[in-house]
Structure 1
Amino acid sequence: MTTQATAGTTELERGLSNRHIQLIAIGGAIGTGLFLGSGIGIHASGPSILLVYVVVGLMLFVMMRAMGELLLSNLGYRTFQDFAADYLGDWARFFVGWTYWLCLLSIAAADVVGIQTYARFWWPELPGWVPMTIAVVFVLGLNLVAVRAFGEAEFWFALIKVVTILVLIVVGVVLIVIGFTSPNGDQASVTHLWDEGGFFPNGFVGFLGGFQIAIFAFAGIELVGTTAAEAKDPEKNLPKAINQVPLRILFFYVLALGVIVCVTPWTEVDPSESPFVALFTLVGFAGAAGVINAVVISSATSAANSGVFSSSRMVYGLATTHQAPAVFSRLTRTAVPGFALVLSCVIVLVSGSIGMIFDDAFQLITTVSSILFLFVWSVILVAYLVYRRRRPDLHASSTYRLRWGVPLCWLVLAFFGAMVVILALFESTRVPLLWTPLWFVILGGVYLVVRRRVARPNPER
C-alpha cells in the first residue's frame, strides 16, 4: 500500500516498482568502479582480473541471498540495519548504519572525483569543482522531488549504462572476429588473454592486487537492501532483484573487461583513464569515444545518485531510532528525508573538493570504501548466522531460503578476512587500512554517549 505524501507524512512512500528496484540494484554497482577503476585492476592483475571479478561476484551473491532471506523474514525491516539490530543488538544498528552511510558517501565522492576526470576529456582546463557541483546539485534536485522521481531517473540512468556495455561488447566481439588492427599495430585477438606474459602476468601477488578495486566495483550491489521500505510488493520484487542482478553484473563485468583486454592488450591500459573510452580512442573511433565518455559521466552521476539516496535513508533510519539528530527523521511533503539528503550532498561536495587536492584521491577513497563495505557485508552475514540459530522456524517456513546458508556464510566471512590481509600487503592500500580503525573508535565513543537515548526513547516522538 502506498503512503500518500502530505504535510503530515511520517512514513516513507512505497513508490518503487519492480523495474525501478531491478535497475537501481544494477545501476548501484555499475559506476566509477567499472568505468574508471577497472583500468587500475587490469593494470595490477592483467587478464587475471577477470577471475578476480568472478570470485568476488560469487562471494557477494551469497551475501545478497542471506540478506534477502532476512529482509523477507519480517516485512517490518526497512533496511538491513533493522535486522542487524534485531539479531545483534542496537549497537549493530548504530555501527552498520553510520558505517554504511560513510560507505555510500565515499562511493559518491569517488564518483564526483571521477566526473572531474571525465570532464577533462572535453575541457582540459575546466576547474574540477564546476562539473562536480553541477552533478551534486542535480542529484539533490532529483532526490528531493519524490522517491518515484529518483526511481525513474535511476531506471533510465542504469538502462543507458547497460545498453552501453552491451554495445561495447558487440563492437568488441566484431573487432576480434575481423582481426581489427589499431593504429598502434595491435591486432584484436583472444590470444591477448595469455600472450602478454600469460593469464597471470604479474604473478600471484599481481592477481591479489586486483581484489581491492574489484570489491569497490561491486560496492553498491546491496543497495536493494535499502529499498525494502519503499518497494511495492517486496515479497515478489526483492527476490527477483537479488536473484538476477548479481549474475547480470558478473556478466557485464567479466565479458566487458574480457573484450577490452582482447581488443587492447592489458599492457596498453592506462590506470588513470577509463579503459572503455580508451578502447574507442585507440581504435580510431574518436566520435564514439566522446559518446562513451558522456555515458561514463552519466554513469558516475547515477552511482552518486544511488549513494545519496541510500545514505539519506540510513540517516533517516538512525534518526527514527534516536541514534542520529531528530531533524534527520523529518520528511518533506513528498515523503523524502529532506534534511538527510542535504547532509549527504554537502558531505559529498566537501569530499569531492578534498579529492581535487590529492593526486591519488581515487585510490585512497576506494580503499577506505572497500574496507568499510567488508565490515557491513560481514555484519549482514553474522546477523544471518544468528538468525539461523535463533529462528530455525522462520528459515524453515521461508519461501526464499539460502541453501547451505551456514557453511556458505562462514566461507564468505573467511574470504572477507583474507581480503583484509591482502590489503595489508600493498603500500597503496596499507595506509588507508591502518587509519580505518579510527572510524570505529570514533563510533564507539559516540555510541557510549547516545546509548542512553537508544534505551530510553523520547515520549514526544
Structure 2
Amino acid sequence: MTEKTEMARDLKNRHVQLIALGGTIGTGLFMGAGSSIKLAGPGIIFVYLITGIFAFLIMRALGELLVSDTSQHSFVNFITKYIGPRAGFIVGWTYWISWITIAMGDLTAVGVYMQYWLPNVPQWLTDLIVLLLLWGLNSITVKAFGETEFWFSLIKIVAIIGLILLGAILIAIKFKTPMGHASLANLVNYGGLFPTGMKNFILAFQMVFFAFLGIEMVGVTASETKNPKKIIPKAINEIPTRILLFYVGSLIAIMSIYPWTQYSGAASPFVKVFSSAGINSAASIINFVVLTASLSALNSCIFTTGRMMYALTDNTNPLHKLSRAQVPNRAINLSVAIISIAVVLNGFMQGEVFGFITSIATTTFLFIYGMVVLAHLRYKQQTKGLAKNVFLMPGAPYTDYLTLGFIMFVFVVLFFSTTTLYAALGAVIWLLILFFWSKWRVV
C-alpha cells in the first residue's frame, strides 16, 4: 500500500469559521474580563478595539502568505522560506513548546472547573479522562477535530450572544439594580471613559493582547482545508466583525448594567449579569461555558502541536508519518504524552510556579507574531509585487511596520508591571537559548 504523504483536506467552511472564532474567544473573556475592567474602566473597550485592529492586520499578513502557497503546512514554513532556517527553527519550536505548556494549563483548568460538579473526584482523574477523549478524537480524522471544535465554539458564541441580548433588554426596560438602573450612561457617569488614568489604560494592552492568542490557528488548518484560497480569506475577513460583536458588544453590555466600579477579578462579570436578571443557575451556566472554552483550547492545542511537530520534522523522522486517515498520529501521540505530564504535575506544581511557566509561554507569542509580519515584509520585498495574490494585506508595507511597532509597544509595557516583568525576561532567556542552540542544530 502506498503511504499517504499529504494530509486530508476534510475541514469545511463552517469548521474553519468556528476554529477562527474559537481562536479569538477564550476563557479570558468569561473569567478575566473583571480584572481588565477594574484596571481600565470603560476605556477597556478602546483597548480591545485597537488591539483587535492589529490582530486583524497580523492575520491579513498571515493570510496573504497562506494563499500564496496553500501546500505549506504552517506559517513556520513561510518564516523559514523568507527569513531563514534558523528563524523557522526558533519560531517552530517556540510555538510548539508554548502550546504544549498552555495545553497543560488548559488541562489543569478543566480539572478545576469539573470540581464544581464533582468535588469528590480527584482532579487528576478528570484530567486524564478528558485528555484521553480529546486524544482519541484528534487521532480519528481531521474532520472529527473540526466537528468537536465547531460545537465547543458554538457554546461560547451562544453564551456571549445571550449576554448581549440580555443586556439590550435590561437597558431598554431600564432594569433596576442596587446601583441605579441599567443604562448606557453608566459608561461615562463614573469618572468618564478613562477613570483610572492613561497609565492603567496603557497597562491594559498587555492583558488584552494575550486574550487574542490563538487567532493564528486558522493558519495551521490551511493544508487540511477544502478550497483554502476561498475559505481562509473568508475566515480572516470576518475577524473584525467578531471582535466588534463579541468583545466590544459584551463589554458594553456588562458595564451598562452595572458600573465598572462594581466588577473585580474575583468573580466573572457574566455571572453577575445573569444573576442580576434572576437566573439562579448563572454560576453553573458560566462554569459550563468556561469548561467548554477550556476544552476547546485544549482540543486546539492537541491539533496544533501535532501539526507543528509534523511540520518541524522531515521524511527521515519517524514522527513525520501519516495514518491511513491522513492524520499525523505519531506527532500527536508525542505531544499528548508530554501534555499528560500535567496530570502528574497538578499534585506537585500548582499555583504560582505553574502559572509563571504558562505566562512565559504566552509572552513568546509577541515574538512569533512579529516574525509572521516580518516574513510577510520579506515576501513582499522578494516578490516585488509580482506574485499573483488576490488576498493582499491592506496598506502594506506601512501596515507591516505599524504592526511591528505595536507588538514592540506591548512588549515594552510588560516591563512596567512586576506580574509580567519576570515572564517577559523568562521569554527573552528562552529565545536566547534557542538562538544559540540553533547555531549548531540548523545547517
TM-score > 0.5 by shorter chain: yes
Partner of 1:11: 6
Partner of 2:356: 364
* CA displacement 1:76-131 (0-9 Å, x = unmatched): 32211111111111112211111111332343333334334433444556544344
Whole-angstrom distance in 2 between the partners of 1:186 and 1:69: 50
Deviating more after overlay: 238-247 vs 259-268: 259-268
1:131-280 counterparts in 2 under 5 A?
Answer: 131-182=126-177, 184-185=178-179, 187-280=181-274
1:128–1:211 distance in 2 versus 1, CA, 3 Å: farther
Partner of 2:29: 34
Whole-angstrom distance in 2 between the partners of 1:349 and 1:125: 21
Whole-angstrom distance in 2 between the partners of 1:208 and 1:451: 39
Whole-angstrom distance in 2 between the partners of 1:369 and 1:192: 37
1:359–1:200 distance in 2 versus 1, CA, 3 Å: farther
* CA displacement 1:137-193 (0-9 Å, x = unmatched): 2221210111010011111211221122111110121112222234x5553222322
Whole-angstrom distance in 1 between the partners of 2:193 and 2:109: 29
**Contact persistence 1:40–1:213 (CA under 8 A):** no
Q: Give, in angstroms, the shift of residue 389 of structure 1.
A: 1.1
Whole-angstrom distance in 1 between the partners of 2:151 and 2:365: 26
**Contact persistence 2:56–2:239 (CA under 8 A):** no
**Contact persistence 1:37–1:217 (CA under 8 A):** no
Partner of 1:374: 366
Instruction: Give, as a single letter, the amino acid of the residue that structure 2 aligns with 1:333.
Output: R
Instruction: Give, as a single letter, the amino acid of the residue that structure 2 aligns with 1:211.
Output: F
Q: Give, in angstroms, the shift of residue 200 of structure 1.
A: 1.9
1:117–1:254 distance in 2 versus 1, CA, 3 Å: farther
Q: Match for 1:384 among 344, 356, 376?
A: 376
* CA displacement 1:256-281 (0-9 Å, x = unmatched): 12211222332332314332234323
Instruction: Give, as a single letter, the amino acid of the residue that structure 2 aligns with 1:203.
Output: G
Deviating more after overlay: 254-263 vs 337-346: 337-346
Whole-angstrom distance in 1 between the partners of 2:131 and 2:271: 23
**Contact persistence 1:23–1:154 (CA under 8 A):** yes
Instruction: Give, as a single letter, the amino acid of the residue that structure 1 aligns with 2:434.
Output: L
TM-score of the pair, normalised by structure 2: 0.92
Q: Match for 2:437 among 417, 432, 446?
A: 446
Instruction: Give, as a single letter, the amino acid of the residue that structure 1 aligns with 2:368.
Output: V
Secondary structure in structure 2 of the residue aligned to 1:62: helix
Whole-angstrom distance in 1 between the partners of 2:249 and 2:344: 34
Partner of 2:404: 413
Whole-angstrom distance in 1 between the partners of 2:135 and 2:231: 26
Whole-angstrom distance in 2 between the partners of 1:321 and 1:373: 28
1:305–1:368 distance in 2 versus 1, CA, 3 Å: same
* CA displacement 1:393-435 (0-9 Å, x = unmatched): 444x321112321000100101111111100000110111111
1:102–1:273 distance in 2 versus 1, CA, 3 Å: farther
The yes-or-no answer on 1:58 pairing with 2:53 is yes
Q: Give, in angstroms, the shift of residue 227 of structure 1.
A: 0.9
Q: Give, in angstroms, the shift of residue 365 of structure 1.
A: 5.3
* CA displacement 1:39-88 (0-9 Å, x = unmatched): 32222222211111111110111111111111111233221111111111
1:331–1:299 distance in 2 versus 1, CA, 3 Å: same
**Contact persistence 1:277–1:293 (CA under 8 A):** no
1:429–1:88 distance in 2 versus 1, CA, 3 Å: same
**Contact persistence 1:116–1:129 (CA under 8 A):** yes
1:309-348 counterparts in 2 under 5 A?
Answer: 309-320=303-314, 326-348=317-339
The yes-or-no answer on 1:105 pairing with 2:95 is no
Whole-angstrom distance in 2 between the partners of 1:118 and 1:186: 33
Partner of 2:418: 427
Whole-angstrom distance in 2 between the partners of 1:249 and 1:19: 18
Unaligned runs of 5+ in 2: none
Secondary structure in structure 2 of the residue aligned to 1:10: coil
Partner of 1:21: 16
* CA displacement 1:12-59 (0-9 Å, x = unmatched): 111111111111111122122222232322222222111111111101
**Contact persistence 2:179–2:258 (CA under 8 A):** no
Partner of 1:458: none
Number of matched residues? 442
Q: Give, in angstroms, the shift of residue 216 of structure 1.
A: 1.5
Deviating more after overlay: 92-101 vs 355-364: 355-364
Whole-angstrom distance in 2 between the partners of 1:129 and 1:180: 43
Q: Give, in angstroms, the shift of residue 368 of structure 1.
A: 2.3
Partner of 1:457: none
1:111–1:192 distance in 2 versus 1, CA, 3 Å: farther
Instruction: Give, as a single letter, the amino acid of the residue that structure 2 aligns with 1:317.
Output: A
1:379–1:127 distance in 2 versus 1, CA, 3 Å: same
Instruction: Give, as a single letter, the amino acid of the residue that structure 2 aligns with 1:331.
Output: L
Secondary structure in structure 1 of the residue aligned to 2:23: helix
1:96–1:66 distance in 2 versus 1, CA, 3 Å: same
Whole-angstrom distance in 2 between the partners of 1:35 and 1:334: 36
Whole-angstrom distance in 2 between the partners of 1:428 and 1:321: 43
Deviating more after overlay: 163-172 vs 343-352: 343-352
**Contact persistence 1:109–1:349 (CA under 8 A):** yes
1:110–1:260 distance in 2 versus 1, CA, 3 Å: farther
Whole-angstrom distance in 1 between the partners of 2:8 and 2:438: 30
1:254–1:261 distance in 2 versus 1, CA, 3 Å: same
Whole-angstrom distance in 2 between the partners of 1:190 and 1:444: 51
